């Protein structure tokens, strides 16, 4: 279904593991704060709604999305959270800067997760314009911060959970 027709942040709360024993890092870009701060609010509210302890949520602010990976690494090394959520927004402009930034940031965040065997969540919006960004930061298409929090909880359960069963109860090799 097209994103134009739906709230992409809708999920079944009963399908989300309890986050009471989990710890989280959040790194948020201050650039485009009218977009990233509502994402941050949605992220924190979702973590808390699923049982996360406020004392187990560590927050770093960075100037822009390009700085997310380095700050995510610093947060991980200092606090050792079960997952690190990276929130930012890079809007397409008159130049191709967005392509370079988005590729570099997404590759770096993915590499952090693989190297550290820890979920590093890509919660960076890559819209074509400001209106699309607002629509995905608490507007008609939901809130990417909520989606990032749900993803973090699920991935922590997957990585740290029962090593012989996945969430559906199937035995895995």
- Just list the catalytic residues: 97
- Give the integer Cα–Cα distance in Å for 142 and 14: 19
Phi, psi values for residue 10, rounded to 5°? -70, 135
Q: How many CB atoms lie within 10 A of CB 94?
A: 5
The full length of the chain comes to: 173
Task: Give the bridge partners for 87, in sequence order.
Answer: 28, 123
Instruction: Kindly state the DSSP code that residue 131 receives in the 8-state scheme.
Output: H
- Residue 102: which residues within 8 A CB-CB, separation 6 or more? 65, 90, 124, 126
Phi, psi values for residue 60, rounded to 5°? -125, 145
């Amino acid at each position: 279904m097209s994103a134009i027709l739906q709230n992409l942040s809708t999920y079944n709360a009963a399908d989300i593991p309890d986050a009471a024993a989990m710890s989280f890092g959040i790194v948020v870009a201050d650039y485009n704060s009218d977009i990233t701060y509502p994402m941050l609010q949605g992220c924190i509210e979702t973590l808390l709604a699923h049982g996360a302890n406020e004392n187990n949520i560590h927050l770093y602010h960075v100037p822009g999305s390009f700085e997310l990976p380095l700050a995510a690494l610093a947060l991980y090394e200092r606090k050792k959270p079960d997952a690190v959520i990276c929130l930012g927004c890079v809007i397409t402009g008159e130049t191709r800067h967005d392509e370079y930034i988005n590729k570099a940031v997404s590759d770096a965040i993915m590499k952090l997760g693989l190297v550290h065997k820890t979920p590093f969540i890509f919660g960076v919006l890559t819209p074509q314009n400001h209106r699309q960004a607002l629509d995905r930061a608490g507007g008609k298409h939901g809130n990417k911060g909520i989606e990032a929090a749900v993803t973090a909880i699920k991935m922590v359960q997957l990585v740290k959970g029962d090593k012989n069963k996945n969430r559906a109860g199937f035995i895995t090799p």
